[in-house]
Amino acid sequence: MRLPNPAPHPDTGLLVLRLGLAGILLFHGIFKATHGVAWMSGPLSAHGLPFALAYGVYIAELVAPVLLVLGLWPRLAALIIAFDMVMAIYLARSGDVTKINPMSGGWAIEIEALLLVAALTIAIAGGGQYGLSRNDPRSRSRGRY
């Protein structure tokens, strides 16, 4: 029995990836907007970083996801999110990088890693044709940029 081979739809796939990544991060951003980021002073100071960096999380977890949903500057938004994930792993989860989750058997930082990979994928591939940047060739999945 031969299975059908439907035509690929990379722009639709990028839209789904953008919306999924943005949806997940918006929950984190809304939580931080309603509960504050004071708790981040500990991890930041432990690594010798100024507390002012904590406010960058609002850009990475509120503004950048909204840009992804709108398809406006998706590559820039994805790079901001990728940086946020690198910082989250570095500041809060660096001790877990080599660990396995005993409850599931998965990598202890698999969620952060998956969000990082999704953001890097959008940053590399572009946001696709569905969005406000659709006329910008740098935002398309087919363009050089």
Mean pLDDT along residues 85-103: 94
Q: What is the pLDDT of residue 4?
A: 84
pLDDT at res. 16: 97
Spatial contact of 21 and 61, defined as CB atoms under 8 Å apart: no
Query: Given this model, what pLDDT does residue 145 score?
Result: 36
Q: What is the pLDDT of residue 1?
A: 76
User: What confidence score (pLDDT) does residue 143 get?
Assistant: 45
Please determine, for residue 20, whether its predicted confidence score (pLDDT) is greater than 50: yes
8 or 135, higher pLDDT: 8
pLDDT digits (tens, 9 = 90+) for 63-74: 999 999 999 999
- Please give the pLDDT value at position 5: 83
Q: What is the rounded distance in angstroms from the CA atom of residue 40 to the CA atom of residue 27?
A: 17
Query: What average pLDDT does range 32-40 have in this prediction?
Result: 95
How many angstroms separate the CA atoms of 84 and 72, rounded? 19
- In the predicted model, what is the mean pLDDT of residues 46-62? 95
Taking residues 18-27, report their average pLDDT. Answer: 98
Residue 88 CA to residue 28 CA, distance in Å, equals 12
Q: 127 CB contacts (<8 Å, ≥6 apart)?
A: 14, 15, 18, 68, 71, 74, 75, 78, 133, 139, 140, 141
